[in-house]
Amino acid sequence: MGVKIVGVGSFIPASVKRNSDFLKHHFYTNDGKFFEDEPNLILKKFEKITGIQERRYVENEFTVSDIALVASQRAIENAGIDPEILDYIIFAHNFGDVKSDSNQTDIVPSLASRVKHQLKIENPSCKAYDMIFGCPGWLESCIHAKAFIDAGMAKNCLIIGAETLSRVVDPHDRDSMIYADGAGACVLSATNEEGGILTHATESHTFKESNYIYFDRSFNPDIEENTKYIKMHGRKIYNFALSKVPLAMKKCLDESGFKIDQLKKVFIHQANEKMDEAIITRFYQLYKETPPKGIMPMSIKNLGNSSVATIPTLYDLYLQGEFEGNDFKKGDIIMFASVGAGMNINAITYQY
């Protein structure tokens, strides 16, 4: 028996926020000093490092559970199942519902419960809960679902990854330009076919690294409000990711019994183009190999970093043919990998 993705869906917000839209922003350093660089120079440096040219923001009337519902409906339709047979709904996010006119998060009831309600599922045996695990939350939710299915506790699970990071960023922090909004979902089911999720690896590094991504007040010293925003130590995260993520990916692949040259694609959390390229290079170097051209599809250029939503939306777009077509064949080996707040990392080896 295998545990396979039988349906996928995503929601890409319509509102485009280009780098040039930040030209009038006043950026400060983390110690409250105004950046003297010209805005154009700041944007050029930003794009060179991150690869981001534009990102998507939700319209004012939407919350993260709203866009998650759309992605979920599309995944369920794509799977061709009745939502009443879902055993679990696991919703990966990090900041809950934050309305456009508020800076307060809302997670009661859980977002998974809200989506189940909006899907009009009556079955009380369909359990709904939220996953707070940083950017790797969607992958970790897939790992949870596989455990439930392997244990005979479930047959069909809806896994959601959605975020509206535009609601929790400091407009005076350059890093705010990295973040974006989006939602992706999949249906994981028990099948009689071989393949699906083969192996997985997860690690939580908290001894020194837990506060690499954190919440703090605005960098603008003239703002006295006590509102907190998402912050990060970019260089520390970069070095951490390069040293830890490739090793977890190698462990995951090695346990599957497949070889590095059998990998068809690697879908990595779209955090930062330069960092992701370094991760994939370091991963292949562990096998004394060079990454094949096109091994790692990238969406960050146009969609930015939407945290838990980046991998499911990327995978859905790839299957839709947005990256020169889906050329997967039955039996192909692919990998998913992520890194994020916690600091958490994980990877999945998957047979299509």
For residues 190 and 209, membership in a common domain is answered with no
Same domain (yes/no): 244, 152: no
Helices assigned H by DSSP within the chain: 39-50, 64-79, 111-118, 137-150, 234-256, 273-285, 300-303, 310-319
CATH number, position 282: 3.40.47.10
- Is 218 in the same domain as 155? no
Per the structure, the count of domains in the chain is: 2
Q: What are phi and psi of 58, to 5 degrees?
A: -70, 155
Residue 183: what pLDDT? 98
Beta-ladder partners of 47: none
Q: Identify whether residues 343 and 258 lie together within a single domain.
A: yes
Are both 188 and 253 inside the same structural domain? no
The span from the CA of 229 to the CA of 240, in Å, is 22
Same domain, residue pair 212 and 114 = no
Per-residue pLDDT tens digits of the chain, which is 352 residues long: 899 999 999 999 999 999 999 988 889 888 888 887 777 888 998 999 999 999 999 999 999 999 999 999 999 999 999 999 999 999 999 999 999 988 789 999 999 999 999 999 999 999 999 999 999 999 999 999 999 999 999 999 999 999 999 999 999 999 999 999 999 999 999 999 889 999 999 999 999 999 999 999 999 988 877 889 999 999 999 999 999 999 999 999 999 999 999 999 999 999 999 999 999 999 999 999 999 999 999 999 999 999 999 999 999 999 999 887 678 999 999 999 999 999 999 999 999 9
Contact 181, 93 (CB under 8 A): no
Amino acid 153: pLDDT: 97
The CA distances from residue 77 to 124, 135, 233, 260, in Å, are 21, 26, 40, 34
Last residue of a domain, one of 167, 194, 221: 194
My answer on whether 188 and 302 are in the same domain is no
Which of 132, 164, 194 is the C-terminal boundary of a domain?
194
- Do both 165 and 48 map to the same domain? yes
287 in the same domain as 207 = yes
**Whole-model pTM over 0.85:** yes
- Note whether 204 and 118 are same-domain residues: no
Q: By residue range, what is the domain housing residue 43?
A: 2-194
Using CA atoms, how far apart are residues 308 and 338, in angstroms rounded to an integer? 9
- Determine the pLDDT at residue 102: 84
Q: Examine the domain organization and report whether 177 and 240 are in the same domain.
A: no
pLDDT value of residue 225:
79
Using the 3D structure, point to which of 158, 179, 194 is the last residue of a domain: 194
- Residue 50 DSSP symbol: H
Rounded to 10 degrees, what is the CA torsion of 331, 71, 201, 111?
Answer: -150
DSSP 3-state of 295: coil
Helix (H, G, I), strand (E, B) or coil at 200: strand
Residue 325 confidence (pLDDT): 64
- Do both 190 and 226 map to the same domain? no
Which residue is associated with the tokens 């912050």?
231
